Amino acid sequence: MNASKAQQLLHGQTALVTGASSGIGRETARVLARQGAAVGLLSRDKAALDTLQEEITADGGRAQVVPADLADSEALRAAVAGCEEALGPVDLLVSNAGHGMNQVFLCDQTEENWQRTIDINLTGAFRICRQVVPGMMERQSGSIVFLSSVAGKRGIPANTAYCASKFGLRGLTESLAWEMGPFGVRVNAVCPGLTNSPGLNEEERYGGDFVASLARHHGPENLTWKRYVDRAVRNTALRRVLESEEVAMLTLFLLSDLSTGITGQAIGIDGGAL
């Protein structure tokens, strides 16, 4: 149920969420809409975005589907223009879209997948920021949240490309925060641990190459995705996987006026991982 307008944290604001078609991005878009934001929904999967738009509208919210590929700067320019034409200037940006497939030891990694990982996770964040940052500077207000990862705070074997991209987001967060602070714009990153989302649940897409590479170089030879995840969960204080809504609520906090003194931070939400 939506809060009353007087209680909504983001009433009257426009948010843009990349990677909104599934997982954390989808739940974040729903949470922001329930808190009064008009939400631009961006990803390559238009059908999934259309379904999400219908759900948000049925719940009393406003949303606009703006499909685009983060690797295509011109498509992003058109998507942001379409979002702002329909909903108004972008006040809030959630840069969530990411690429986590084919993560293996560096000695097994192809240059093609290394570049793909960096291009989507890091350069894609740069591309979308290029489209919204000038307007925020002109209006002297706004808030940006990057979805990084625990892999952006510590190294993980068989994740060299992914870790490099997510560590890069921390640098982008801190430097952009210093650039944008005098213009009244805050920039932060959220660093989730294991979360109930496609990245955790679709083993065939995300776990196969990773586990094979880890088993080959570090062992044990009979390592499975389930055994890896179970051990990772045991190494958290809460001893459980996070839910996408929990990550979305931290993102909401950082976007809203509840966190007006926070910028340039990469905040972990990992269940107390070791």
Catalytic residues: 162
- Cα separation, 152 vs 189, in Å, equals 10
Q: DSSP of the chain, one letter per residue?
A: -PPPTTT-TTTT-EEEEETTTSHHHHHHHHHHHHTT-EEEEESS-HHHHHHHHHHHHHTT-EEEE----TT-HHHHHHHHHHHHHHH-S--EEEE------S---GGG--HHHHHHHHIIIIIHHHHHHHHHHHHHHHHT-EEEEEE--GGGTS--TT-HHHHHHHHHHHHHHHHHHHHHGGGTEEEEEEEE-SEESHHHH-HHHHTHHHHHHHHHHTS-TT--HHHHHHHHHHTBSS-SPEEHHHHHHHHHHHHSGGGTT--S-EEEESSSB-
